[in-house]
C-alpha cells in the first residue's frame, strides 16, 4: 500500500440509466453530504465509484460527480471506474439480472487504496456516531463493522439534507432492525467496513454464484465468520434514503414468483454455502485505460471473465469451535 | 331312720334319680367335650397343614420376587443401555442429517449455476443462429 494511501476508501457503484428510480439525484445528494462531513472532520478518504455497464446514450455519472461536487475534483478524493457493459452480459448467469452490483463493488474493492474499505450504497448517509469512530481511527483489523439502518420516509423532504432532517425521528420509518449475532445481518449492503488486507484475503463478494444479486451481501457475512473474522456493530446507524423501486418496497411484487425477480431468487442458500473466488476477482485482468485524472475505463476482454461455471469454488462454511455455526439450512 | 340311712350312705330314690340325672348330664357333656376336642384337634391339624402350604407358597413367591427383581434390574440396565445407544444414534443421525443438508444446499447452489449457465448459453446460441440466418438470407 502506498504511503499516501488514505485511511478510508468508500466503494460505491451505480448505473447511469436511473436504475432503482431517480438514482442520480439520490446519489449526488448523498455523496455531497458524506464527503462534506468526512472533510469537515479531517478524515482522509477516497471515493472509488464504479460505473457499471453505462448506457452510451446517457452522460456518465463519473463526469457528473466531478462537475457537481467541487470537493471531489481533487484527484486524491475521487476515482471513477467505468466498466464496459459487455461484462454484464458475459458474467451474468441469469438473463433477468439487470445489475451485477456486487461484481461492480468487487471492481472497486480490488482497486481501493485505503487502509480500511467501506462498501456502501449510493443512497446511504453516514451518522455522527459512525463519523466519530472513523475520526478517532480506532478500528481493528479482521473485524467487519456493521451499522443498523434507519430508513428515511419517502415523504420526508430530502431536497436539502442536514442533521436536523436525518436525526428527526418523525422523518424515520419504523424502528431499524437490530443487528443480531452471529451474522449481524439486515440492510447488509448498506454498511460493510473492513480493513483492506482482510477484504482482499476474503476475495470480496461472491463471484461464483452470479445467478442472483439478492443475498450476496448476506453470503459475504457467512464467509467472514467462516474465515474466522469477527463481526461487530460500529455503534451508530446509517440513514437510507428510501425510494420507489427499492428492494424493501418491491419485494412483495415478486411473492410467489421469486424466480422472476430482477434481483434473482431470494430463496437461494446464501446462508449455507459460501465461495472461493478465483484469483482474477474484481476483473483484475481487465485492460484499464485512464481517460483523465478522475476517470478510467475497463475495456472488455475475455481474459478478465471467469469461467461460466466453476463448481469447485462452491464450498461449505467452516463451523468454528466456540462460535455459532454460520450457516443454516433454509427450505426452498 | 332317715338319719341312720344317710350316715350309711344310702340315698333316697328321689335323690338317687337326681344324682343319676346329673351323672348322665356330666357324661353327655364329657362326650361332647371329647367330640369338640377331636374337632379342634382336626381343625388345628388342618390349619397346620394349610400353614405349611402357605409357608411353602410364600417361599415360592419370595423366590419368584427375587427372580423378578433380578430380571427387572437386568431390564433396567438394558433399557439404560438402549437409551444411551439411542441417544448416540440420534446424535449421529442429526450430524449425518446436517451433513446431508449441507451437501444438498451445495448441490442446489451448483444446480442453480448450471441452470443459469445453460440458460445463458441457450440465449447466446439462439442469438448466433439468428444472426447467421439473417446473413444467409441477405446473401440469398
* Among A13-22, A68-77, B105-114, the range of highest mean pLDDT: B105-114
Task: In whole angstroms, give the CA distance from residue B25 to residue A283.
Answer: 138
Among A87-101, A144-158, A209-223, A308-322, the least confident range: A308-322
Mean pLDDT (whole number) for A95-101: 91
Among A255-269, A300-314, B42-56, B65-79, the least confident range: A255-269
Beta strands A288-290; A295-298: pairing state: antiparallel
Phi-psi region of B34 (alpha: psi -120 to 50; beta: other; left: phi over 0): alpha
Q: Is A169 on the interface with B (CB under 8 A)?
A: no
Residues of B in contact with A272 (CB under 8 A): 101-102, 105
Greater model confidence, A101 or A2: A101
Predicted pLDDT at A307? 95
Query: Cβ neighbours of residue A325 under 8 Å, at least 6 residues apart?
Result: A317, A319
Among A279-293, A318-332, B60-74, the least confident range: A318-332
Task: In whole angstroms, give the CA distance from residue B40 to residue B38.
Answer: 5
Predicted pLDDT at A326? 55
Greater model confidence, A262 or A229: A229
SS3 A13: strand
Contact B109/A209, CB-based, under 8 Å?
yes
Among A132-136, A186-190, A287-291, B133-137, the least confident range: B133-137
Interface test with B, best of A218, A316, A327, A331 (most B CBs within 10 A): A316
Mean pLDDT (whole number) for A282-303: 96
Q: Is A23 on the interface with B (CB under 8 A)?
A: no
Task: In whole angstroms, give the CA distance from residue A130 to residue A162.
Answer: 15
Task: In whole angstroms, give the CA distance from residue A215 to residue A230.
Answer: 20
Residue B122 Cα, gap to closest chain A Cα (Å) = 11
The predicted model scores a pTM of 0.82
Mean pLDDT (whole number) for A76-93: 96
Is a pLDDT exceeding 80 seen at residue A221? yes
Helix axes A216-226, A101-111, angle to 10 degrees: 50
The cell numbers describing A327, all together, are 450457516
Contact A309/B121, CB-based, under 8 Å?
no
Do the Cβ atoms of A46 and A116 come closer than 8 Å?
Answer: no
For A161-177, what is each residue's pLDDT tens digit?
Answer: 899 999 999 999 888 88
Predicted pLDDT at A327? 55
Choose the closest CB to B106 out of A210, A211, A273.
A273
SS3 A75: coil
For A259-275, what is each residue's pLDDT tens digit?
Answer: 888 888 889 999 999 99
Q: What is the DSSP secondary-structure string of A166-178?
A: HH-GGGB-SPPPP
Mean pLDDT (whole number) for B64-73: 97
Do the Cβ atoms of A6 and A76 come closer than 8 Å?
Answer: yes
Is a pLDDT exceeding 80 seen at residue A324? no
Do the Cβ atoms of A119 and A192 come closer than 8 Å?
Answer: yes
Confidence of residue A54 (pLDDT cuts 50, 70, 90): very high
Predicted pLDDT at A331? 42
With CA atoms as reference, the chain B residue closest to A270 would be B109
SS3 A126: strand
Closest residue by Cα to residue A281 from A223, A214, A226, A233? A223
SS3 A315: strand
Across all residues in chain A, what is the average pLDDT? Answer: 91
Among A41-45, A69-73, A166-170, B96-100, the least confident range: B96-100
For A119-164, what is each residue's pLDDT tens digit?
Answer: 999 999 999 999 999 999 999 999 999 999 999 988 778 788 899 9
Closest residue by Cα to residue A75 from A292, A287, A291, A289? A292
Predicted pLDDT at A332? 39
Confidence of residue A329 (pLDDT cuts 50, 70, 90): very low
Mean pLDDT (whole number) for B42-46: 96
A305, exposed or middle or buried, with CB in 10 Å at 0-12, 13-18, 19+? Answer: middle
Amino acid at each position: 500500500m502506498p504511503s499516501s494511501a488514505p485511511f478510508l476508501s468508500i466503494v460505491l457503484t451505480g448505473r447511469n440509466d436511473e436504475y432503482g428510480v431517480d438514482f442520480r439525484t439520490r446519489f449526488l445528494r448523498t455523496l455531497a453530504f458524506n464527503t462534506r462531513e468526512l472533510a469537515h472532520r479531517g478524515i482522509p478518504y477516497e471515493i472509488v465509484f464504479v460505473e457499471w455497464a453505462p448506457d452510451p446514450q446517457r452522460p456518465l455519472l463519473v463526469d457528473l460527480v466531478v462537475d457537481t461536487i467541487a470537493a471531489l475534483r481533487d484527484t486524491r478524493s475521487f476515482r471513477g471506474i467505468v466498466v464496459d457493459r459487455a461484462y454484464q452480459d458475459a458474467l451474468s448467469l441469469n438473463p433477468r439480472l439487470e445489475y451485477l452490483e456486487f461484481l461492480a463493488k468487487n471492481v472497486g474493492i480490488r482497486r481501493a487504496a485505503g487502509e480500511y474499505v467501506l462498501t456502501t450504497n449510493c443512497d446511504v448517509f453516514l451518522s455522527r456516531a459512525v463519523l466519530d469512530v472513523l475520526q478517532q481511527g480506532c478500528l481493528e483489523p479482521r473485524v467487519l463493522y456493521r451499522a443498523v439502518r434507519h430508513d428515511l420516509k419517502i415523504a420526508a423532504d430530502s431536497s436539502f439534507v442536514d442533521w436536523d432532517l436525518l436525526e428527526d425521528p418523525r422523518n424515520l420509518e419504523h424502528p431499524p432492525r437490530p443487528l443480531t449475532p452471529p451474522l449481524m445481518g439486515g440492510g447488509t449492503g448498506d454498511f460493510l467496513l473492513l480493513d483492506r488486507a482482510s477484504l482482499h484475503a476474503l476475495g470480496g463478494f461472491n463471484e461464483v454464484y452470479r445467478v442472483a444479486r439478492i443475498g450476496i451481501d448476506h453470503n459475504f457475512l457467512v464467509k467472514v465468520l467462516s474465515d474466522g473474522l469477527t463481526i461487530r456493530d460500529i455503534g451508530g446507524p446509517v440513514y437510507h434514503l428510501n425510494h420507489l423501486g427499492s428492494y424493501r418496497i418491491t419485494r412483495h411484487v415478486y411473492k410467489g414468483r421469486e424466480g422472476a425477480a430482477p434481483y434473482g431468487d431470494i430463496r437461494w442458500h446464501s446462508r449455507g454455502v459460501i465461495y472461493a473466488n478465483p484469483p482474477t476477482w474484481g476483473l483484475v485482468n481487465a485492460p484499464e485505460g485512464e481517460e483523465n485524472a478522475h476517470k478510467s475505463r475497463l475495456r472488455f476482454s475475455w481474459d478478465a471473465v471467469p469461467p461460466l461455471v466453476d463448481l469447485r469454488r462452491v464450498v461449505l462454511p467452516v463451523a468454528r469451535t466456540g462460535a455459532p455455526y454460520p450457516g443454516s439450512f433454509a427450505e426452498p | 331312720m332317715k338319719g341312720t340311712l344317710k350316715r350309711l350312705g344310702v340315698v333316697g330314690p328321689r335323690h338317687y334319680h337326681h344324682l343319676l340325672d346329673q351323672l348322665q348330664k356330666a357324661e353327655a357333656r364329657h362326650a361332647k367335650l371329647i367330640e369338640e376336642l377331636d374337632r379342634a384337634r382336626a381343625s388345628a391339624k388342618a390349619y397346620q397343614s394349610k400353614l405349611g402350604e402357605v409357608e411353602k407358597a410364600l417361599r415360592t413367591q419370595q423366590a419368584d420376587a427375587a427372580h423378578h427383581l433380578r430380571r427387572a434390574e437386568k431390564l433396567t440396565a438394558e433399557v439404560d443401555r438402549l437409551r444411551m445407544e439411542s441417544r448416540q444414534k440420534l446424535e449421529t443421525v442429526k450430524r449425518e442429517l446436517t451433513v446431508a443438508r449441507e451437501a444438498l444446499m451445495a448441490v442446489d447452489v451448483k444446480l442453480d449455476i448450471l441452470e443459469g449457465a445453460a440458460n445463458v448459453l441457450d440465449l447466446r446460441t439462439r442469438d448466433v443462429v439468428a444472426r447467421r440466418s439473417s446473413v444467409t438470407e441477405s446473401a440469398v
